């Protein structure tokens, strides 16, 4: 993962402003992350855990570093044997996970799944 920007404002229900460290061409898809800090992560050698929240697309450069971006509806094709991410699972109500986890060993990390001002932006 490569983080090189931040959400600086939410304009309306589909648009947001992001500040990026380098030029980004219109149409480029980026990921907004949750940056979760938890003490247990340090034992794994991590300062923070970056969890993808959603995808945005760059629309228009506003100045040297600020860009207008939009969220979009991803086209989900659920073919036989395809794995679904958690959002696709909720949206399609399908109950077939690609793997099962032992919940008793979970770190119990929780984060707000909505994109907020200050969230990091980058590429997976």
Model confidence pLDDT, tens digit, residues 50-92: 999 999 999 999 999 999 999 988 765 555 555 555 555 555 5
Give the start-to-end residue ranges of the domains of the chain.
Answer: 2-97
pTM, entire model = 0.74
pLDDT number for residue 83: 53
Give the span between the Cα atoms of 31 and 17, in whole angstroms. Answer: 13
Q: Determine the average pLDDT of the residues in 89-106.
A: 65
* Phi–psi pair at 106, nearest 5 degrees: -70, 145
The one-character DSSP state at 117 is T
């Amino acid at each position: 993962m490569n983080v090189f920007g931040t959400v600086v404002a939410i304009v309306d229900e589909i648009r947001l402003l992001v500040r990026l460290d380098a030029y980004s061409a219109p149409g480029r898809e980026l990921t907004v992350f949750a940056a979760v800090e938890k003490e247990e992560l340090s034992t794994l050698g991590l300062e923070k855990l970056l969890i993808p929240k959603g995808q945005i697309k760059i629309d228009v450069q506003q100045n040297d570093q600020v860009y207008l971006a939009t969220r979009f509806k991803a086209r989900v094709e659920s073919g036989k044997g395809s794995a679904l991410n958690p959002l696709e699972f909720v949206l399609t109500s399908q109950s077939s996970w690609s793997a099962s986890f032992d919940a008793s060993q979970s770190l119990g990390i929780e984060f707000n799944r909505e994109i907020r001002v200050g969230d990091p932006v980058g590429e997976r």
